Chain A
Amino acid sequence: MITDTTTRYSEPMTEIPWAHHPPAPRITAVHTGIACGVLAVAAGTLFEVRPPEAYGICMACHGRDLVNWTINQMAGAHLTVAPASLVYPVLTTIGVLLGGWIGARTSGEFRWWTPDNPVKLFVHGLLVMNFALLAGGCSIRLLLRTASGEALGMMGFAGMAIGVVLGTFWLRWRATR
């Protein structure tokens, strides 16, 4: 039986026995940033996730590679993929989904949640992917390219920062109107 001191959530995952262990060590965003930085540089330079350069972690490009690689294999199409995933696919998308699921299950944070307006978020996802492929990377890879010293990456990251600032102002204006 679970006492209130061992679980922080009202709805424990009773079917997962290892979900009731004491809470995992607290991981901050700084830990995650450092770990992801090490992994991204190592994957991009030492473990053949190249070319293009600074390609270690990118949610948009790797998602595109996986989708296009799958369609190319199944339908014999010739959609664009990065040279890094020409023969075998890159699986960052699946890995992150798996890792996030493991983290949510082990901490008891997994919860089904139905959205109010899924169409709006579908359109947001569509737009973010198209803008990201236009810029040559999602927010993570734009920062990675900036760190690697590429001039285009710096321009993209600056554009992204301006976009976030204006988007935040828009959100605040809409909330306080």
Chain B
Amino acid sequence: MTATVTTLVVGVIAGYLGQRSRMCFVGGIRDFILVRDTALLKGLVAFGFTAWLLFPLAVVLTGDGALRFGTPDVVAAALTIVGGFGVGYVSTLANGCPLRQHVLAAQGAGSSMAYLAGFLGGALVFHVWIVGLIARLLP
């Protein structure tokens, strides 16, 4: 229940700030390459830097040692790199990262509503078909 309330509150704050600042986690790199505009890129760096500073602090606060990550293997690494590349490439073509598309949809943009329909339907497609397909193709 804590997670439900927390994510709702975090989502409202992130959505409001994202609407006011036009924040986009893909647009920063894109704007820098196209017109050397660093406004969004600074936001991207600020997010990463803040999280990087606060993770050790939070681990000390909760007092349960380090964050528990699985050991990466070659298959997981390859899938992650391919997936990351696809996220970046298609998001650039779609004109914004998922957060920006959610905010634009809330602003009344029909294109982003179509994007969101595909986005949420895509979760179902992934778990019903793609997972089984990948599991069959991989050794």
Are A155 and B81 in contact, with the CB atoms below 8 A? yes
Is A63 touching B54 in the complex (CB atoms < 8 A)?
A: no
* B46 adjacent to A164 (CB under 8 Å): no
Interface residues of A (CB under 8 A from B): 24, 26-49, 51, 53-54, 56-57, 59-60, 62-64, 66-68, 71, 79-80, 84-85, 87-104, 107, 109-119, 121-136, 138-140, 142-144, 146-153, 155-172
Mark each residue of chain B from 12 to 24: 1 if its CB lies under 8 Å from any CB of chain A, else 0: 1111111111110
**Minimal Cβ-Cβ distance residue in A for B54:** A41
Q: Per-residue CB proximity of B38-66 to A under 8 Å, as 1/0?
A: 01101111111111101100110110000
Please report the total number of B residues contacting A with Cβ < 8 Å.
Answer: 104
Interface residues of B in 72-116 (CB under 8 A from A): 72, 76-77, 79-94, 97-99, 101-116
Report the Cα distance A159→B78, complex, angstroms.
10
Q: Which residues of B contact A121 (CB under 8 A)?
A: 94, 111-112, 114-115, 118
Q: In the assembled complex, which residues on chain A have CB atoms less than 8 Å from the CB atom of B123?
A: 60, 63-64, 67-68, 129, 133
**Contact, CB under 8 Å: B80 / A155:** yes
Interface secondary structure of A, over-half rule: helix
Q: Which one of B62, B84, B113, B115 has the highest number of Cβ atoms from chain A below 10 Å of its Cβ?
A: B84
Check B107–A163 contact: CB distance below 8 A: no
Name the residue on B nearest A148 (C-beta): B55
Residue of B nearest to A163 (CB): B88
State A166–B61 Cα separation when bound (angstroms).
41
What are the residues of chain B within 8 A of A124 when measuring CB–CB?
Answer: 90, 93-94, 115, 118
- The reply to whether A167 and B119 form a contact with Cβ atoms under 8 Å apart is no
- Whether A168 contacts B119 in the complex (CB less than 8 A), given A136-B80, A146-B48, comes out as no
Q: Check if B11 sits within 8 Å of A91, measured CB to CB.
A: yes
User: Given A113-B111, A135-B82, A167-B92, 14 other A-B contacts at CB below 8 A?
Assistant: A28-B39, A32-B17, A40-B10, A42-B58, A43-B6, A45-B61, A93-B11, A95-B15, A99-B19, A100-B103, A124-B118, A126-B121, A128-B119, A144-B51
Given A33-B42, A45-B58, A95-B9, A140 and B15 contact (CB-CB distance below 8 Å): no
Q: Contact: B12 with A35, CB < 8 Å?
A: no
In whole Å, how far is B62's beta carbon from the nearest beta carbon of chain A? 6
